[in-house]
Structure 1
Amino acid sequence: MITLGAVIMAVGLEVFLVPNQVIDGGIVGISIMLSHLSGISLGLFLFVLNLPFIYIGYKQIGKTFAFSTLYGIVILSISTALLHPVPAFTDDILLATLFGGVVLGIGVGMVIRFGGSLDGTEILAILASKKLPFSVGEIIMFANLFILGSAGFVFSFDRAMYSLLAYYVAYKMIDITIKGLDESKSVWIISDNHKELGDAILSRLGRGVTYLHGEGAFSGDDKKVIFCVITRLEEAKLKDIVADHDDSAFLAMADIAEVRGGRFKKKRYSLVMI
């Protein structure tokens, strides 16, 4: 899957973005600009510029992550070199930006999902967040705004704006690829009618529930906490169930990237045209 993800990312770069002078963020964006200015292969810059960050990742994060990242970057570098002679799929700058961002995001998301990385900026951001009062996402965003802004001086400022659009599309596709379209949600419900609520979730949603023991910090009363896992498509129905049985119940939900084990299975839904 890392191999496939790296090849897909190379397609997004060499078939859509690079021929239209649109860049991505991070080391990839720097490599595209340096390749344009020097005429040297993009794949060579991708490999060389990422090596220091792979070494840092090996020392600070772990050898499995470092070797997976090294392997993905080698495949990416080779793939970009092989795809470079392939003509651009489209000369329409907007189509190239949108579809390039989608393809790029799918490739990067696949690699991240299976334990690797294709850009050293992420490694640097993880380590820098430990010493700076910023999150990993904020550090990556600041770095990429500077890199994407630099594209205005290397290419043109309209290309820099298209690059920002491509980066946003790729970011959203990475999120979708990692989490999936039918993402799961964890649910916590605190209610005096926990038994009726639990039975209703079992019968109407077909989802298993677990009763946890809790204690109110203010009142000191014993509480039953209902825990269950649902899909995003079942969220509205669950809220209706809670409102029907106890409109004063405490309800909290959070996104879950992955669910394994137990009896949880994602249901297949179909749309019916009436």
Structure 2
Amino acid sequence: MKELVSEIEKKIILRRNIKDVFFIIIGVCMASIGLKGFLLPNHFLDGGAMGLSLLFQILTPINLSLLILLVNAPFVLMGYKQISPQFAIKSTLAIVALASLVHIIEIPPFTADKLLIAVFGGFFLGSGIGFSIRGGAVIDGTEVLALSVSRKSSLTVGDFIALFNIVLFAFAALVVSLETAMYSMLTYLAASKTVDFIINGIEEYIGVMIISDQAESVKSMIADDLGRGVTAFLSDGGYGKKGNTLPDRKILFCAITRLEVSKVLLEVEKIDPSAFVIQYPIKDTKGGMIKKRPLH
């Protein structure tokens, strides 16, 4: 039995590793196209560690490939200490592959239109970063640094990344040009939105928690009528002076797409108009009755 479980685990790990390598290869190729075909020929920047590398490339004679390695090296070391050795190894290989590809390949500029350069350069670079993250690696180590800072200060990861990029673009405006900094902000926005799209997918899932005296009826409606999975938690409620005397009740939880939210809320209201419903976004899902998303 143990040998059978071991074989199953090996197959799962092998499939996961193959998928990770596939995503990282796509990510490196997409980022290379964004850099060589759009950003580099026009001296545009991005945010984060990649933006820092591009800025140093403009201000110094150092080759971008070498800068990508040098700028990201401290972040990879942080990832080794704070996340895992496997993450650090994958990230190192991905960054080395990106630096090598940027050094070797020659891609003629796709367009001279600055707006198209900013938007599509950000799209390709963001795709590269997003696919690499899906593969369990990074080619832009800013989030690793942000994670480290957030653990030692009151800043969140998002706060630190925003602050980092404000300083970066302000410095670019001073030493390069205001126009370059403004177009680089567009590049960063396009890249960040693309990263979100690649990581989170098209469908955004919503977690819905329902507290109702008609919990069994609501549960049957979700499971039988809507065909969605639902989980019931026993809870000890409390409200006002009668808080300690209220009977135990069930809290229902289900994960649905944002397109199904209005339907669920309508059906819940039909059953119990006074039901208390909480909604919150879910970044990712796997298994259960949720339909498996492509490229996950």
TM-score w.r.t. the length of structure 1 is 0.91
Q: Matches of residues 121-270 of structure 1 in structure 2 within 5 Å?
A: 121-218=142-239, 219=243, 220-265=246-291
Q: Tell me the alpha carbon deviations over residues 223-251 of structure 1, each in whole angstroms, 9 at most, x when there is no partner.
A: 11111121122112112112222221111
- CA shift at 1:127, angstroms? 1.1
Shift of 1:266: 5.4
CA distance, structure 2, for counterparts of residue 241 and residue 215 of structure 1 = 25
Q: In the TM superposition, what whole-angstrom CA distance separates every residue of 1:108-134 from its partner, at most 9, and x where no partner exists?
A: 111112211112322221111122211
Once structures 1 and 2 are overlaid, which stretch shifts more, 22-31 or 33-42? Answer: 33-42
Q: Match for 2:66 among 44, 49, 56? A: 44
Of 204-213 and 131-140, more deviation after overlay is shown by 204-213
Match of 2:31 in 1: 9
Q: CA offset at residue 16 of structure 1?
A: 1.4
TM-superposed CA distance for 1:141, in Å, is 1.0
Q: From the superposition, tell whether residues 226 and 245 of structure 1 become closer, same or farther in structure 2 (CA, over 3 Å).
A: same
SS of residue matched to 2:202: coil
The structure 2 residue matched to 1:65, chosen from 79, 87, 90, is 87
How far the C-alpha of 1:215 sits from its partner, in A, is: 1.4
Q: What displacement does 1:195 show?
A: 1.9
| Contact kept? 2:31, 2:127, Cα under 8 Å | yes
- Cα deviation for residue 267 of structure 1 reads 9.2
Paired residue type of 1:119:
D
**In the comparison of the two structures, how many residue pairs are matched?**
267
CA distance in 1, matches of 2:293, 2:282: 16
1:90 counterpart residue number = 111
Match of 2:46 in 1: 24
Distance 2:36 2:56 in 1: 15
User: Is the contact between residue 12 and residue 100 of structure 1 (CA under 8 Å) also seen in structure 2?
Assistant: yes
Amino acid aligned to 1:170:
A
Instruction: State the match for 2:101 in structure 1.
Output: 79
Percent identity (aligned): 40
Q: Which moved more, 1:185-194 or 1:215-224?
A: 215-224
Partners of 1:237 and 1:230 lie apart in 2 by: 10
Which amino acid is the alignment partner of residue 129 of structure 1? S
Contact 2:129 2:140 in 1 (8 A): no
State the secondary structure of the residue aligned to 1:185: strand
In 1, Cα distance between equivalents of 2:238 and 2:31: 51
| Ranges of 4+ aligned residues in structure 1 off by more than 6 Å | none
Change beyond 3 A, Cα 1:189–1:128: same
Gaps of 5+ in 1: 269-274
